[in-house]
A and B are shown apart, each in its own frame.
Chain A
Amino acid sequence: MGRTGRRAVLLAALAGWCLSLSGCVPQGLAFKVDERLRFIAPEDRATVRLPVTVDWEIEDFEITGPGGEPRAGAGYFAVFVDETPMPAGKDLRWIARKDRSCRESEGCPDEEYLNTRGIYTTTDTVLVLDQLPRGRDEDRRERHRVTVVLLDASGRRLGESAFAIAFDVQRKAD
């Protein structure tokens, strides 16, 4: 077998290894963009004033709210303002995983705990943000990012879909 032949065998072995790796691929990975949710307001990268109304619409998703039997395609929303959402399959307790006092308190994280961290749960498709944290440099543009993820009835994140929008806030005092 020539050198090219040996290299071809090496490559084939690599390809085989890749295929075997794909056998270990977890289920439910999203390779195509989820387009069920669409933001109505504000426009992406728009400049807005407080309070900001974030409005969206969704298809093929039944808004049932928390409680009941968890199933795909039904549940409610979690909105993260300037925060990274939890991974797929995790519930909101994941947010407080590093907060020992919260972990040891019954009922934590509650709504107040989450709201102070810019996280909101809702069954509505509109969320009004009265206050947003100020940027460090007041002379610079104050950009915020809102991310909506879908939760099932038990509060776990449904799939990897995350829908995000960014906007700049101009304070009234300016």
Chain B
Amino acid sequence: MTLAPQRPGAGGPAVDVDEIVAQRVRLRGEARELLGVTGEGGPPVKLRTVVKENKVGFYPLAALGTLSIIDTFQGYAFTVLTPEISRSLGIGLGTLSLLIVLKTLALTLAPLSIAALVQRHPRRALVCLITAAGWSVTTLYTGFVTATLILALVLVLDGASSGSTTVLHPPLLMDYYPPATRVRVLSIYTAFNNFGNVLAPLLVALLAGVLGYTWRGVFLVFGLACLIVLPFMLKLRDPGFGRWDTEKLKATVHQATDELDPDDAELGFFEITRRLFLIPTIRRLLAGFAVFGMLYVPLATFLSFYLDEELNFGPGQRGLFYALTSASTIVALALYGRRGEAMFRQDPGKVIRYAGFQLAVGVTLICLAVVSPFTWLTLMLFTLSTAVIAVLSPALAIVTLSIVPAQMRPHAGALYGIFFGGVGGIAGALLLGGVQSRYGTAGALVSLALPGVAGSLLLARAAPCVQPDMDRMIDEVLETEQLKQVKAAGGHLPMLSCKGIDFSYGQLQVLFDVDFTVDDGEMVALLGTNGAGKSTLLKVISGIGLPSSGHVRYRGQDITYLDAERRTRLGITQIPGGRAVFGPLTVLENLRSYGYTLGKERKNLDDLIEECLEAFPRLAERKTSLASQLSGGEQQMLGLSKALIMRPRVLVIDELSLGLAPIIVGQLLEMVRRINATGTSVVLVEQSVNIALNLVEHAYFMEKGEMRFDGPAADLLARDDLLRAVFLEGSTAAT
């Protein structure tokens, strides 16, 4: 199949898509290796060796790890010293809980804006430093707070700046270090964070218990410690997006940079986020993160209550216990690093399956700990469960971040934070709070088995999707680069191409692997029975519907996930089927409304409206009438005027002739011909085969969501098997 057969108006040599696909299959294996998935078993190469060979050093890991350590200070100090803050400032526990919710909200939502901030330019390291300075200052200033409002502000600022660790640190590490080391690097980073969980309670115990500092003193010391550490992080530099994977994938296609400017079709923040939700593994993992958050976020709090109420542990003993469990997680992560790396290299899905198993083991250990009759056994089981659950973080992170292109990783991290801390954390607190009020803290801890089992099942469901999604990401990057290469080499790309489009309304799939191409200046007909999927395909083209798989390319650029309004600005305009007008507005107001997307050209709007009225004298006669009072033909004229005003590169017209008198249809088709003659590509969706085929030279025929015919219009007329059941009868009204 060729993307651009030699149709009238096509320029340059045709592109053989089959050749591109074959080349992509050849490249996919190489690309998987670049991502660290070799399919081989056995132990991975030593971390130090890989790091040395690639001259990346351990500084970025140490710097980001240290930042994650000092990030724990404010949160931990606030949690431990809440009663003292309450008594000192005269703030009730209810108000303090509200403030903590505010901070959690900031912590949950800030990553989204941080992801948006860094999505176009690789300045993640700088943002990391600024946010670290932010939380250092807020930690310091917490020690000087005297009023509830200021405390709220400080907590929100701290939450907002701390959000950068989730959203920026793991993606940065993915770009600093080669794929062969990433599971170990993420494990070590998590261990750094857990060391913070050891250090923070010990420091609080030392400062408040031994050295006699109040909560103010503790925050003051922590804030100063953060500020002292910061200068050592100043050498952090952003390595660039996808240095080891996405960029290398691109480089496997070609070495030279092309001259195409991809900015026009670059996805915006919400488009990236929406695109991530369309990846099956991401959807399942986000559900898994939410369930994991339900379990993990409130665990420490309820465990604290359990130790206090059931085991009668004081603050010092609790701090020591947490330090011990956090230390055990460091050991667990150290053991997991190499094993996880080997698993990932063999099969990334295996990492997720194993994570599900670990989650099940973890919650089982928690339940056993609660029912254990011996304190030492209870403590041991709690420690073990914490260690087992801790390794889930790098496991889930490596898979989540490996199946999305480098520039989308901060967004994936932000979604992870929202589902883990926001959705999961809040749901978990509500669930466990409810269970605790009825069955006590022990009952609440046992009830964690519920989200634990659900999380295990969700992770098990996600595992089979990982490899296909990784391949899809590879294909996406490769195809884009191949097409760029073709274009750079002087090859011809079609104006609009849809490839392998699948689309579903909920669970009901209505498009199946649909390919569709329109060349520059070409007019094609898209034919099919009712319910064949024609209008759905148009929705995919115009951006009203997003496909579950496949790609839409416009002038060589991928616009599959671009918003509809941005496609309009790029030159794709759709005239929807039926009455494509604003009924309560007059004809003139309708015409004026089409001008809103013209941008700088809007100053010519009056001239353009005048042209429309000249082209359709009937509209000029009724220019002050409401659009809803126009006849069907007049409404279609008004709808078609959209093309005259917006001057699109591709005009998509749905059911132009439906229910109109032949003479009106003739006038409208004449106008379509004129629009096409100015160089606009036209996609004409029709049920009337005669009308369509008299107008176009190339036709597509759809049936039951599949493309059944793609070829010259004259050839379609010879296909009785396709046309018999449909429309030839009663469609002789044309021309």
* B-binding residues in A (CB < 8 A): 3-4, 7-8, 10-11, 14-15, 17-18, 21-22, 24-26, 29-35, 44-45, 84-88, 90, 94, 136-137, 139-141, 143, 147, 149, 160, 162, 164
Contact = CB atoms under 8 A, between A and B. Distances in A.
Given A17-B137, A30-B216, A160-B88, A11 B146 contact: no
Interface string B86-98: 1111111100000
Contact of A21 (B91, B141, B231): B141
Given A17-B137, A45-B314, A84 B92 contact: yes
A160 B133 contact: no
Nearest to A145: B83
Q: Is the interface of B mostly helix, strand, loop or mixed?
A: helix
A26 B146 contact: yes
Interface string B218-231: 00100000010011
A4 B234 contact: yes
A84 B90 contact: yes
Closest 4 CB pairs of A and B: A87-B90, A162-B87, A31-B217, A160-B88
Contacts, number: 94
Nearest to A147: B87
B436 to A, nearest CB: 10
A164 B83 contact: yes
A87 B309 CA distance: 29
A143 B86 CA distance: 18
Interface string B544-565: 0000000000000000000000
Contacts of A139: 440
Nearest to B219: A31
Interface stretch (B206-214, B255-263, B478-486): B206-214
B667 interface: no
Contacts of B217: 31-32
A94 B90 contact: yes
B214 A33 contact: yes
Contacts of B126: 7
A18 B142 CA distance: 12
Given A21-B144, A25-B144, A14 B137 contact: yes
A18 B137 contact: yes
B437 interface: yes
B133 to A, nearest CB: 5
A26 B92 contact: no
A10 B214 CA distance: 31
A22 B145 CA distance: 11
B129 interface: yes
Given A18-B227, A31-B143, A7 B234 contact: yes
Interface of B: 83-84, 86-93, 126, 129-130, 133, 137, 140-141, 143-144, 146, 208, 212-214, 216-217, 220, 227, 230-231, 234-235, 237, 309, 312, 314, 437, 440
B234 A162 contact: no
A31 B213 contact: yes
Nearest to B147: A87
A10 B137 CA distance: 13
Contact of A35 (B89, B212, B314): B212
A15 B88 contact: no
Contacts of A3: 237
B146 A140 contact: no
A31 B220 contact: yes
10 contacts: A11-B230, A11-B231, A22-B144, A31-B143, A32-B213, A33-B212, A84-B92, A87-B89, A88-B88, A140-B309
A131 to B, nearest CB: 22
Given A26-B144, A160-B214, A85 B90 contact: yes
Contacts of A136: 437
Given A22-B144, A141-B309, A84 B231 contact: no
A32 B144 contact: no
Contacts of B146: 26, 29, 87-88
Contacts of A15: 227
Contact of A31 (B91, B214, B437, B440): B214
Contacts of A140: 309, 440
B205 to A, nearest CB: 13
B233 to A, nearest CB: 9
B437 A137 contact: yes
Contacts of A31: 143, 213-214, 216-217, 220
Contacts of B208: 33
A10 B220 CA distance: 21
A84 B87 contact: yes
Most buried by B among A17, A25, A31, A94: A31
B221 to A, nearest CB: 9
Nearest to B130: A10
Contacts of A14: 133, 137, 227
A31 B219 CA distance: 9
A85 B86 CA distance: 8
B455 to A, nearest CB: 29
Contacts of B231: 8, 11
Most buried by A among B126, B133, B437: B133
